Amino acid sequence: MKQLNSNQCFGGQQQQFEHDSQVLNCKMRFSIFLPPQALESNKVPVVYWLSGLTCTDENFVQKAGAQRMAAELGIAIVAPDTSPRGDDVADDDAYDLGKGAGFYLNATQEPWAKHYQMYDYIAYELPALIEAHFPVTDKRAISGHSMGGHGALTIGLRNAPRFKSISAFSPIVSPLHCPWGHKALTAYLGDDQALWVKYDAVELMKKIKDGTSHLPPIKISQGLADNFLEEQLKPHLLENAANEVKYPFEINVHSGYDHSYFFIASFIDEHLRFHAQYLLK
């Protein structure tokens, strides 16, 4: 790993690193906030934050204001990039496909398959790297926004023993039922929608058996002034599926809030306290 930046922040360190990813076949960047407890030789749990379309590892770090509460609670936050990067990485002219739009899945179609293996990177390679090189425990939670909310939900649901809790702001809950999802999943996975279901939180929720134990609880925050709410996000689909299987699920809707980081900054402390219940006990 190569350290790119380090800044003192609320008694901790906000750092940025570059490393070679074997899974993605390219160099990747991630940002990590280490709270003061981690700098005092105490290992701390980690929240993995997945950002949305067009973002990098820096958006959350600079806009969400999460460091203050993370420092108070003693939780590290890891924010990876949203896709592979590099001159030889496939891309598209549109903002919702290619670089900055990895959708946290393992692509099977060309030209994407060589690099776009974001599911394996987030679920396995990156946590292994973080736990090998930083003062953190193997207690993990996962959160995200929009496309990153989709990633947090699907990765968290498919890896329940690995993640203690899941949260999301304005998530894409069902790529099978929205334009963003249809475009991305067709490009990355092909036309067979039977292959799409493992990257659809609603479909994953429907497969959970009623009363299954050790499920990571889910918390969702959604702004009612979000201009993507009706066409792209459709959180009611996940709420209905969760209620059917009696999943530990809560959704909080907020009048007047939109899809921006102003919304995330307003409620990120609430989400971190939610994760702390399961990471720190």
Give domain limits for the chain.
2-280
Separation between Cα atoms, residue 135 and residue 248, nearest integer Å: 30
**Cis before 175 (ω within 30):** no
Question: pLDDT of 179-209, one tens digit each?
Answer: 999 999 999 999 999 999 999 999 999 999 7
Establish whether 236 is a catalytic residue. Answer: no
Q: Across all residues in the chain, what is the average pLDDT?
A: 96
CATH of 2-280, one of 3.40.640.10, 3.30.930.10, 3.40.50.1820, 3.30.2320.80: 3.40.50.1820
pLDDT at 210: 63
Q: What pLDDT, on the 0 to 100 scale, is given for residue 211?
A: 56
Enumerate residues 6+ apart whose C-beta is below 8 A from 66: 33, 49, 60, 77, 268, 269, 272
| Catalytic position from the list 21, 31, 51, 146 | 146
Q: Which of the following is catalytic: 51, 226, 271, 275?
A: 226
The pLDDT assigned to 38 comes to: 96
Query: Token pair for residue 236?
Result: 């009611």
The pTM of the full predicted model, rounded to 2 decimals, is 0.97
Name residue, tokens 């903002």: 95
Specify the pLDDT at position 36: 97
Dist CA 102 CA 232 (whole Å): 17
**Is 182 designated active site?**
no
Both tokens assigned to 204: 């994953």
Decide if 96 is catalytic.
no
Can you give the C-alpha Rg of the chain in angstroms? 17
Distance of CA 222 to the CA centre of its chain: 16
Tell me which of 115, 145, 150, 259 is the catalytic residue: 259
What confidence tens digit (pLDDT) does each residue in 123-149 have? 999 999 999 999 999 999 999 999 999
Helix, strand, coil shares of the chain, percent, nearest 5, are 35, 25, 40
**Dihedral angle at the C-alpha atoms of 249, 255, 260, 261, nearest 10 degrees?**
-70
For residue 182, what pLDDT is reported?
A: 97
- Extract the residue ranges of the chain whose pLDDT is less than 50: none
Burial class (CB in 10 A: 0-12, 13-18, 19+), 22: exposed
Query: What are the tokens at 272?
Result: 């971190």
